[in-house]
Amino acid sequence: MMKTQTKLQKGTRTILKEACEKVEGFQKVIEAMEEKMLLADLSPSTTTNYTRSLAQLSLFFSKLPQDISENEVNKYLMDLARKPNELSRSSFKLLVYSLRYYYRLIGITDRVVQLPVIKHKTKLPVVLNYAECKALFRGPTSLRDRILLVVMYSCGLRTGEVSRLKIQDIDSGRMMIHVHQSKGRKDRYVPISPLILPPLREYYKIYRPVNYLFNGCKSGFPLSRQGIQSIFQAAVKKCNILKRVSPHTLRHTYATHLLEFGMDIVTIKELLGHERIETTMVYLHVAMLNRSNLFSPFDRLYQKP
């Protein structure tokens, strides 16, 4: 087994800078990738993830990606695949996608098909029940943190979306929130509950956020994704939720609860900003829809005939 990847925790800019300094020619790799992905209108996060993944690989072997043999790449991937944790599995998939893209970019088509096929695991999303939601929203002592969690749940926002949410995106007249250029570079509007407006206005009067609805340490700058993650996990710990959850769980919970309260799947697809209805339909397997007659056979096993 190959040695553990110790560089995974380093910041993206540090990884890229180190690869450019230590691997001759890697600077040109980055420039070519960034130019091509910009022309293809791919998201900045995709560009960042692909270049970082290739930088980690190049640093490990001290070679450019095209100079690393297929056998070396496969051993590296095998090492990642053997690790049970989600970080390694994510790194495995990301490296496969990155190499496929890079090989096509430089015209090495014969190696693309040799990369392992990624098997997609079908997992149902974890969702919070109604009592857990109420407990979670009571958890934080800070009004800002409570409002943040409530907005994420009540509007089904991704972490990046709530981080980039600006004050002017809240349209209290129409009771809508404008979500700008989200995943897939799409805009959308989502309704905001009238119940949120009074505490939201109180929050604004007390905190006076600048530009972004939720400021980080510096006024006028958005609260980071890491900051949102910390707020969420602190609330989860405080109210003793034992499920494996993340801030994205609030989005899953939003969709599931809308289904349970009677909203149709097509409308939910639009509210979530999904490209394909199949993505939204996973919530049909989670929501308790007209299932009041469900029971276990054990319930009836010992009943008298």
Task: Indicate if the alpha-carbon torsion angle 205, 209, 215, 217 is positive or negative.
Answer: negative
Annotation says 121 is catalytic = no
* Six-digit token string for 136: 């979670």
**Nearest by Cα to 197 from 151, 261, 138, 141:** 151
Annotation says 208 is catalytic = no
Q: Which of 183, 188, 225, 238 is catalytic?
A: 183
**Hey, how many other C-beta atoms are within 10 angstroms of the C-beta on 194?**
9
Q: Is 10 helix (H, G, I), strand (E, B) or coil?
A: coil
Annotation says 285 is catalytic = no
Q: Is 267 helix (H, G, I), strand (E, B) or coil?
A: helix
* Cβ burial 254-279 (10 Å sphere, 16+ → b, else e): bbbbbbbeeeeeeebbebbbbeeeee
Annotation says 248 is catalytic = yes
Annotation says 144 is catalytic = no
Q: Which of 93, 146, 251, 252 is catalytic?
A: 251
Pairing of strands 176-179, 188-191: antiparallel
- What is the C-alpha separation between 66 and 79, in angstroms, rounded? 20
Annotation says 274 is catalytic = yes
Pairing of strands 188-191, 170-171: unpaired
Q: Which of 93, 146, 158, 252 is catalytic?
A: 158
* 222 contacts 163 by C-beta, under 8 angstroms: yes
* 95 contacts 77 by C-beta, under 8 angstroms: yes
Catalytic residues: 158, 183, 248, 251, 274, 283
